[in-house]
Amino acid sequence: MNAENKTIPDLGAAENAAVIETALAHCTGGGDMYQHWTGRMKYTTGISTMAELCGAHWLIDLVASYQTEPVIRKDPRLQEFQLWTLKVDRSVEGQTSAAAVCRRDSGDGEPEIIRQEIEYTDFPLDKITLYVEGDVLLLPREH
Q: What's the rounded mean pLDDT across residues 42-52?
A: 95
Residue 3 has what pLDDT? 44
Whether the CB-CB separation of 120 and 16 falls below 8 Å is answered with: no
Tens-digit pLDDT profile for residues 126-136 = 999 999 999 99
Is residue 8 over pLDDT 70?
Answer: no
Q: Pick the closest to residue 27 from 127, 104, 132, 130 (CA basis).
A: 130
Region for residue 38 given its phi and psi (left: phi exceeds 0; alpha: psi -120 to 50; beta: otherwise): alpha
Tens-digit pLDDT profile for residues 61-111 = 999 999 999 999 999 999 999 999 999 999 888 789 999 999 998 777 889
Whether the CB-CB separation of 99 and 117 falls below 8 Å is answered with: yes
Residue-averaged pLDDT of the chain:
88
Q: Pick the closest to residue 110 from 68, 74, 58, 75 (CA basis).
A: 75
pTM: 0.85
Q: Pick the closest to residue 3 from 38, 56, 44, 40 (CA basis).
A: 44
Whether the CB-CB separation of 137 and 63 falls below 8 Å is answered with: yes
